[in-house]
Amino acid sequence: MAVDLTPKQPMKAYGGEGGAYYEWSPADLPMLGVASIGAAKLSLAAGGLSLPSYSDSAKVAYVLQGKGTCGIVLPEATKEKVVGVKEGDALALPFGVVTWWHNAPDASTELIVLFLGDTSKGHKAGQFTNFQLTGANGIFTGFSTEFVGRAWDLAQEDAAKLVSSQPASGIVKLGAGQKLPAPCAEDRVGMALNCLEAPLDVDIKNGGRVVVLNTLNLPLVKEVGLGADLVRIDAHSMCSPGFSCDSAYQVTYIVRGSGRVQVVGTDGKRVLETHVEGGYLFIVPRFFVVSKIADASGLEWFSIITTPNPIFSHLAGRTSVWKAISPEVLEASFNTTPEMEKLFRSKRLDSEIFFAPN
């Protein structure tokens, strides 16, 4: 597979005083197109509002920084859900969902949200297409005033005035005194899971921790068709070499920290060896084996996997395939001695996925 796997940062697509929208392009990161995965990032300044829109792709949203409000209108719903969000929150956004995002006027930091999703049914493989409901590029700017007036039961003059009253595109900064609905605790139930507060699925002392999003802790994941996880490994720890054994792509965004990554593909060829740090994104092809080693700062990443309940197979550690394979097969496969086989099998008896430095 001769596709460039080099991790990349996003490019600014649009924005203004209220914030900006950034996206990764399949032209810069070809694996996005191969895997039909979209990736984007929203950054809202204090008082910034991302205007109501919907997308051609199901997504998982992950709050990287700050806290704010997300408005969600599910298909055929008669009332929006107003969800308070903060760093570590993950939300599953199925097809047809209309959302808006807001950062409070008195916020001390930007609200930054990562979006990862499946574009296989979208207009562009590897890139989200968002449809704005209002603004200079809103859907209704394309309809005639006759159609808009008939649809909304307004005089054509009023329809024209309403459609043209918002000159901005995508993101605006609210004026002083403008208020939006307050978050409702009930609306958050079943809509968001905080990965920094959720029970850990894996917790290895001095090694690392994992929280997995699946259909059990965030049911909407099933509708989105994606699984996700937040992984944090400690200084100089290693994440075991492993692969997705259910034909899934793994899309990884580095949240913070830094470290080294190696990916090995067909015929034992190392297809990626690189150093990553916060803000970079890369994709591991199906069945390719990936491993990471953190620098002194540790390494944290958020990933989506293109199946709602992913299964991984590891090639080192207590749960690796080597511990299951019979000694005779292992000895013959490596063409080694019984003594070396016993030495090999005696290692990593207590370590699972993460290996702390010796």
| 205 shares a domain with 281 | yes
What pTM was estimated for this model as a whole?
0.94
Residue type, 32: L
What is the pLDDT at residue 358? 81
**5 belongs to a structural domain:** no
pLDDT of residue 215: 86
Q: Is the same domain home to 245 and 348?
A: yes
Whose tokens are 């047809």? That residue is 96
Residue 45 DSSP code: -
Domain boundary among 148, 163, 188: 188
Q: Is residue 1 part of a domain?
A: no
Same domain, 44 and 184: yes
Could you give the strand order of the β-sheet that contains 11-16, starting from the edge strand earlier in sequence?
A: 11-16, 19-23, 37-44, 111-118, 58-65, 89-93, 192-194
Residues 253 and 178 reside in one and the same domain: no
pLDDT reported for residue 327: 93
Burial classification of residue 348, based on how many CB atoms lie within 10 Å of its CB (0-12 exposed, 13-18 middle, 19 or more buried):
middle
Instruction: Please give the pLDDT value at position 76.
Output: 92
**Same domain as 328, residue 234:** yes
Statement to judge: residues 167 and 223 lie in one domain: no
pLDDT tens track of the chain, all 358 residues? 578 999 999 999 999 999 999 999 999 999 999 999 999 999 999 999 999 999 999 999 999 999 999 999 999 999 999 999 999 999 999 999 999 999 999 999 999 999 999 999 999 999 999 999 999 999 999 999 999 999 999 999 999 999 999 999 999 999 888 999 999 999 999 999 999 999 999 999 999 999 999 888 998 988 999 989 999 999 999 999 999 888 889 999 999 999 999 999 999 999 999 999 999 999 999 999 999 999 999 999 999 998 887 788 888 988 888 889 999 999 999 999 999 999 998 988 777 899 999 8
User: Is 100 in the same domain as 122?
Assistant: yes
Domain count, the chain: 2
In a domain, 218, yes or no: yes
Same domain (yes/no): 316, 329: yes
Amino acid symbol at 161:
K
Among the candidates 172, 188, 204, a domain finishes at: 188
Residues 98 and 225 in one domain: no
User: For residue 344, is it within any domain?
Assistant: yes
Measured in degrees and rounded to the nearest 5, phi and psi for residue 267 equal 60, 25
pLDDT score at 252 = 97
Give the per-residue pLDDT at 1: 53
Query: Does residue 184 share a domain with residue 196?
Result: no
Domain with 323 in it? 192-355
Q: Are residues 166 and 286 in the same domain?
A: no
Q: Which two tokens stand for residue 119?
A: 């574009």
Question: Residue 4 domain-assigned?
Answer: no
Last residue of a domain, one of 173, 188, 203: 188
Q: How many residues does the chain have?
A: 358
